[in-house]
Amino acid sequence: MTGPSGRPEQAGGAMPNRRLRLGMVGGGRGAFIGAVHALAARMDNRFELVAGCLSSDPARARASAQDWFIAPDRTYDDFQTMAQAEAARADGIDAVAIVTPNDTHHAICRAFLDRKIDIVCDKPLTTTLDDALDLVAQVRRTGLVFVLTHTYSGFPMVRQARAMVAAGELGAIRLVHVEFLQDWLAAPLEDQGDKQALWRTDPQRAGPGGCIADIGTHALHLARYVTGLEVEAVAAQLRSFLPGRRLDDNAQLLMRLTGGAEGTLLASQVAHGNECGLRLRVYGERGGLAWDQERPNHLCWAPAGCAAQTLSRGDASLSAAARRATRLPRGLTEGYLEAFGNIYADAAGAILSRRQGGRPDLEDIGLPGVVDGAIGIAFVEAALRSQQDRGAWVEISLAAGRI
Ligand SMILES: NC(=O)c1ccc[n+]([C@@H]2O[C@H](COP(=O)([O-])OP(=O)(O)OC[C@H]3O[C@@H](n4cnc5c(N)ncnc54)[C@H](O)[C@@H]3O)[C@@H](O)[C@H]2O)c1
């Protein structure tokens, strides 16, 4: 079965006779990721954006809402009013996208969870582990859908890598190397008023982790998502290379993973020449895989004893999970926006399934959720403790089965 965009139908519930109504908090004019969410939500014609509190500045929130043709009576100055008013409407929102800086995620998530509204929240989940665990508890209590947008899990060739590991094609995993290298904070943009740099380098807004939380959690999730392994302990070196910068802009970690695997995680925002250099390499006893976010339509596969080969998005031989996430024939490139769209399409399926009385399992669907978010925050806290203890090994008390 194919959806309106031509891609295979997403996991979860059947098509309803209308689009799901989406609200958004954050994402006003000048913001980065909100517009990406709004586009991704529309991509498969499963959501329409009908309500919003799009900025912390009410005038900007109202002007931004007009850009998206959001009706004045569904344009809100603060998220508490929005949650209350939307929950009270017969045609209230089905789900909310939360695309604000990290320090606000917990309060905004609670406001909507408490009113039984499904959530798509951006990462990192929160700024403290207590807040993260509170959200896990609330999601479990309410049974609501909570999707965390670790975007890279939406790429077809990442889903292919995950399917190959799950099918045992690599055998037992020995090594996991993941890196997320960028260069955009190599200059002190926070001193030049750059909006995104300002809050990301401010511990009050970003939380206690800088680069480790901002992109290290993406790298961690990618490694966990593909391998199915948990990181049990880390030995970390974090630092800021720019004088006066209050949060780390570079991190390098050794990792011990479940099943005896070992690995490394590098995250940097000061590595000149790297734009969005997220790369994953996984080596098992029967073969190795490598994926590069900047060449996302390909996956390098090296079966033991053979020369490496390139698998291509759109190949007929790929897994059902990869084919389901594919929109265009091979050779026509897909990228970040389509991956985001895949997450929203699957989120729509999960929300519909829940509304029809099902209990969608995000792990089975291949969607990151609130537990993944809490593991990310536990990872950041462990890395920071290791750094304070001069790189000593620190165990991560929260692995998936233990939350
Ligand atoms: N998944 C990804 O690939 C990805 C990429 C970029 C950012 N992010 C995450 O998305 C979030 C936002 O990042 P960004 O770069 O878009 O930030 P940004 O600074 O560009 O935008 C934040 C927006 O939130 C608004 N806002 C702040 N507090 C608010 C409040 N109380 N009520 C309503 N609006 C409020 C701001 O006015 C602004 O419009 C962060 O958590 C970040 O880590 C994820």
What's the 309 CA to ligand 1 centre distance in angstroms?
Answer: 39
Q: What is the pLDDT of residue 387?
A: 98
Contacts of 155 (CB under 8 A, 6+ apart): 291, 293, 296, 325, 339, 342
* Sheet order of strands, 277-284 included: 309-312, 298-303, 287-292, 277-284, 173-181, 262-268, 250-257, 231-239, 394-395
The CA distance from 373 to 136, in Å, is 9
Q: Which domains does the chain have, with CATH numbers?
A: 1-154+335-368 (3.40.50.720), 156-329+370-402 (3.30.360.10)
122 lines ligand 1 (CB under 6 A): yes
- Does residue 195 have its Cβ closer than 6 Å to ligand 1? yes
Determine whether the shortest distance from the Cβ of 55 to ligand 1 is under 6 A: yes
Ligand 1: centre distance to CA 101 (Å): 4
Residue carrying the six token digits 């990462």: 123
Structure tokens of 271? Answer: 């590595």
Map tokens 């997403």 to a residue. 10
- What is the pLDDT at residue 4? 43
DSSP string of 38-63? HHHHHHTT-EEEEEEE--SSHHHHHH
Q: What is the pLDDT of residue 12?
A: 54
Digit-coded pLDDT (tens) for 147-198: 999 999 999 999 999 999 999 999 999 999 999 999 999 999 999 999 999 9
What local confidence, expressed as pLDDT, does residue 6 receive?
A: 47
- For a mutational test of ligand 1's pocket, the pick from 33, 76, 194, i.e. the residue with the most ligand atoms closer than 8 A to its C-beta, is 33
Q: Please report the sign of the dihedral spanned by the C-alpha atoms of residue 318, residue 322, residue 323, residue 324.
A: positive
Any atom of ligand 1 within 6 Å of the Cβ of 287? no
Q: Is 160 in the pocket of ligand 1 (CB under 6 A)?
A: no
**Number of helices (H), then strands (E), in the chain:** 14, 14
Ligand 1 centre and the CA of 57: distance in Å?
Answer: 13
Assess whether the C-beta atom of 99 lies below 6 angstroms from ligand 1: yes
174 alpha carbon to ligand 1 midpoint, in Å?
A: 37
Whether 209 and 384 have beta carbons less than 8 Å apart is answered as yes
Name the residue of 36, 37, 122, 148 whose CB sits within 8 Å of the most ligand 1 atoms, as the mutation to test its pocket. Answer: 122
pLDDT reported for residue 15: 61
Residues of the chain falling short of pLDDT 50: 1-6, 8
Rounded distance between C-alpha atoms, residue 213 and residue 285, angstroms: 31
117, 100, 42, 355: CA torsion to nearest 10 = -10
| DSSP-assigned letters across all residues of 174-227 | EEEEEEEE--TTSS-GGGGT-HHHHHHT-HHHH-S-SHIIIIIHHHHHHHHHHH
Report the alpha-carbon distance of residue 275 to residue 59 in Å, rounded: 33
Distance from the CA of 25 to the center of ligand 1, in angstroms?
Answer: 9
Q: How far apart are CA 253 and CA 81, in angstroms?
A: 42
SS3 102: helix
Question: Residue 28 CA: which ligand 1 atom is closest?
Answer: 39
Ligand 1 center to residue 32 CA distance, Å? 7
Ligand 1 pocket member 151 (CB < 6 A):
yes
Looking at residue 316, what is its pLDDT?
A: 94
Decide: 126 in ligand 1 pocket, CB within 6 A.
no
> Is 215 near ligand 1, meaning CB less than 6 Å away?
no
Residue 355's contacts (CB-CB under 8 Å, 6 or more residues apart) are: 13, 94
Candidates 335, 369, 338, 321; CA nearest to 149 is 369
